[in-house]
Structure formats: C-alpha cells, structure tokens
Amino acid sequence: MPTHSSHAIPPSEITPRALFERRREFLRLSTGAALAGLLPSAQAKLAPGRPSAYSTTDSPTPLRHVTSYNNYYEFGTDKEDPARTAHALRVRPWTLVIEGLVKQPKTLGIEDILKLAPLEERIYRLRCVEGWSMVIPWLGFPVASLLKLVEPLGSAKYVEFITAVQPETMPGVRSRVLDWPYVEGLRMDEAMHPLAIIAVGLYGDVLPNQNGAPLRLVVPWKYGFKSGKSIVRIRLTDTEPRTSWMKSAPREYGFYSNVNPEVDHPRWSQATERRIGEFAKRKTLMFNGYTEQVGQLYTGMDLRKQF
C-alpha cells in the first residue's frame, strides 16, 4: 500500500467520490421500477393494523446510529472503529463464489448479483448478543433466490457463508480475536426461509462499508453475529459449518444462535435489550419477534441444548 499517497488525500475526499460511483451503478442496476416503487410499498406495508409478515412496525433507528455503532471486527473491536476505518475496504471488483453440494456452481460479479432479483425493502430488528438492538430498513433479496440459481443437491443440509479478508485494508485481521475469515452458517431450511435476505443497501442507498458492503447476510430471528458482512463465498455442505464464534467460545456461541430471552449467555442475561437511541430497556422477544414465521423450523428441538 502506498501509505504516503493514500494519506495525502483525506478519507473525507476519497469516500464521496467512490460512494458516488457505486451509488450511480446501484441505481442503474437495481431496476428503476423496484426503487421507484420502494417507498410507497414500504408505507403500504406499514399501514396501521396491517403489519406485514416481513417488515416490523417498530420505528427505524436513526441512520447516524446505524452507520456509527457497528461490530465489524476486521476493522477493529470498538464500536466506533468500523465507521472510522472501513472506508478503505475495496468493494469493486467483487465476486461471489457459490459452490459445494450444488448442480451448477457459479462465480458471480456484483453487477450480476444486483440484477438477479428485484430489491425489496425489509424493515427488520437486529438484536446483538451483547444486549443492544436496532431497527434497520434494509434493501435486499431473499438468500433463496441465490441458492435456487445453483440448484442445491438433495445432500446439501447446511450453508456456509465466508466473508472477505483484505489484510491491507482491514487492520483487525492482524489480531487473533477471531479465526479469519469470519465464517457463519445456517441450516439449509433456515437459509431458504423468505425472511433470510442478502442486503445490498439500507435506508434506500448502497450499503455503507461498515455495515457489510457490498453483500451482507441478514437473518432477523437470530443474534446479529449470524449476519456475516462482505460475503465472498457461499458453500453448501452436508456437515454443520464451524463458525468463527463457535471456534472462539463454544460454550457461549452455538450454531443456532436464535434470539431467545429464556437462554442466557453464560456471562449475562438475554431477557432484555437496549434499543440504540432509547433509554428504557425492552423485553427481548422469542425469535426476536418472528415466532409466527420461523417457530416451526425448530419443532422438536431442545433450544436450551441447541442454542
């Protein structure tokens, strides 16, 4: 890295230019109709008395909090680190490999991915295992539309999500806080559930780097760490993936990690949460409030043992 010349241009001047280019591409590639239809449809979904099965009626967390209070350990472990350092992340060119137990493995450029499916706005709660939560209007499409493209084999039982490692842009990967690359996983039926999405934007605009640009998994009924940021590889397997958090602390982080107020983290309670921007604590809801939609995925399981 030519540190000298890159330091000569302050980040405040690099970022708007790069962001401008991405935004222009984003607006061109995501069909105009989908974007134009976005706000009215989101509002229709929020009509009083008719909450959508997908979007919450909770008020979105102000954008400034969503982009300045982040967990993205590749860019440092403090909440303010990603907003300060993730502008360096290289998000173009970007390719995603989908492989493993599939009939049609694929390597897709970000441009192809943005054209794959119409973008939808989904307002979801995000509940971090640390006890805070936010409400975020994502722009994205179901994980299922990516997986259908590669034709999963009957033997595929799990989906592994592998995220980017850019040692030259990510100061955090020099430290061993986690095993890099950051890996997350879902069971096949969880990944195919319509609530599970790949987000490419938020608040009607391209995804900020600190929020996981250019592709980020969002699984609203699970703790926030299941939502891997800056995904480069998706692998379908017949064995349960070993995720970065399970490797770092197997007693604290299980494979499922469903939001569950009745199962405490070994070091703290999960019964309540603080919504960023609010003062009083809220009660944490089973499956983060999505029991009606996802509860049946876990019938017959002991959620204390399979936490």
Ligand X SMILES: Nc1nc2c(c(=O)[nH]1)N[C@H]1C(S)=C(S)[C@@H](COP(=O)(O)O)O[C@H]1N2
- Cα separation, 104 vs 279, whole angstroms: 50
How far CA 17 is from CA of 10, 87, 115, in Å, comes to 12, 11, 23
Residues 92-151, interacting with Mo ion (CB under 5 A): 128
Peptide bond preceding 62 in cis form (omega within 30 of 0): no
Which residue of 124, 225, 253, 287 would you call a contact of Mo ion, by CB under 5 A? 225
126 binding ligand X? (CB under 6 A):
yes
**81: which strand partners?**
none
What span, in angstroms and rounded, lies between the C-alpha atoms of 254 and 238? Answer: 18
- Nearer Cβ to ligand X (31/205): 205
Position 61 contacts ligand X (CB under 6 A): no
52-70 residues labelled b (16+ CB within 10 A) or e (exposed) = eebbbebebbeeebbbbbb
Closest separation in Å from C-beta 154 to ligand X:
30
Q: What is the CA radius of gyration of the chain?
A: 19
CB closer to Mo ion, 79 vs 187: 79
Residues 164-223 that bind ligand X (CB under 6 A): 182, 211-212
Residues 135-154 that bind ligand X (CB under 6 A): none
Residues linked to residue 160 through DSSP beta bridges, in sequence order: 185, 235
To the question of whether residue 258 is assigned a binding role by annotation, the answer is: no
Among 30, 70, 243, 270, binds ligand X (CB under 6 A): 70
Summarize as ranges the residues that interact with Mo ion (CB under 5 A): 71, 128, 224-225
Summarize as ranges the residues that interact with ligand X (CB under 6 A): 70-74, 126, 128, 163, 182, 211-212, 224-225, 227-230
